[in-house]
Amino acid sequence: MRKEIIAIDGPAASGKSTVAKRVAKKLNYKYIDSGAMYRAVAYYMLKNKISLEDIKNHLDEIVIDFDVANNVYLNKQDVSKELRSEEVTNLVAQVATIKEVREKLVYLQQQLGQEKGIVMDGRDIGSVVFKDALVKIYQVASVKARALRRYEENIARGITSNLEQIEQEIAKRDYEDLNREHSPLLKASDAIEIDTSTMSIDENVQEIIEIFRKKVK
Ligand code: DC
């Protein structure tokens, strides 16, 4: 069967990466987390004390790779864990507003997609990176539902957190993603919207697989 591209966009904590990974596994496709690439740039800035104004002059120093287990490598070093740190999370939305950073990462993402057979999640995959993707999903969930998921994930990991604070952080990230000048979070006109507020992960995965199967027919 012909290999295709599946783009999954949506706001923070809408369950994109969990379902994207599972969809990729079911179809024997590669999963690519485009947010991790923005996080890798943020991590490089923190490590090397590079400012938001100056990062455009350092982009050639940054090489990002993934392995088959979805680990992320920055200049050949596995930084998968570091990319989830609070410092990186606090900086990354600002990094994602920089035009030169976006241009470089969009180019890399398009290179990674050349072989097709990929599921990529992010904010602008269906609207900018792969405008001709066969399947474009725009996944949403209420702020309350997303905050509760994050809160429960934290409990499962043994981390105590404050639900109200998580809600505020998610609302703030939505605002930043929706209001930036370059490639804001945007539903492509041909994307299919899925509201996952009351859906289980299995139902969510199944829905995307069904959309995919209808499209390839
Ligand atoms: O999905 P995430 O939380 O790992 O994304 C990290 C940041 O990168 C977030 O602020 C949105 C931004 N991002 C983006 O602007 N475009 C993408 N394709 C993916 C992520």
CA of 140 to the centre of ligand 1 (A): 15
HSE, CB side, 13 Å, CA atoms: give it for residue 134. 19
Residue 167's pLDDT is what? Answer: 95
Residue % of the chain over a pLDDT of 70: 100
Mean pLDDT for the stretch of residues 47-53: 98
Concatenating the DSSP letter of every residue in 163-177 gives HHHHHHHHHHHHHHH
* From 17, 31, 43, 92, mutation site for ligand 1 pocket: most ligand atoms within 8 A of C-beta: 92
> Two tokens at 178?
């929706």
CA of 38 to the centre of ligand 1 (A): 6
CA of 1 to the centre of ligand 1 (A): 31
Mean pLDDT over the full length of the chain: 94
Residue % of the chain over a pLDDT of 90: 81
- Segments in the chain forming alpha helices (H): 16-27, 34-48, 86-95, 99-112, 143-156, 163-179, 201-216
Mean pLDDT for the stretch of residues 14-42: 96
Closest residue (by CA) to atom 18 of ligand 1?
122
Residue-wise pLDDT tens digits, 102-155: 999 999 999 999 988 999 999 999 999 999 999 999 999 999 999 999 899 889
Cβ–Cβ under 8 Å, residues 150 and 142: no
Give the position of tokens 């998921």.
149
Cβ–Cβ under 8 Å, residues 12 and 92: no
The number of the ligand 1 atom at minimal distance from the alpha carbon of 13 is 3
* From 14, 38, 87, mutation site for ligand 1 pocket: most ligand atoms within 8 A of C-beta: 38
Residue 1 pLDDT greater than 80, yes or no = no
Helix H or strand E segment including 193 = strand 192-195
Mean pLDDT for the stretch of residues 37-57: 98
Q: How far is residue 133's CA from residue 7's CA, in Å, rounded to a whole number? A: 7
Closest residue (by CA) to atom 1 of ligand 1?
35
Residue 57's pLDDT is what? Answer: 98
Ligand 1 pocket, Cβ-based, cut-off 6 angstroms? 12, 34-35, 38-39, 92-93, 96, 122-125, 177
Cβ–Cβ under 8 Å, residues 215 and 137: no
- Cβ atoms within 10 A of the Cβ of 137, count? 29
Nearest to 83 by CA among 131, 39, 27: 39
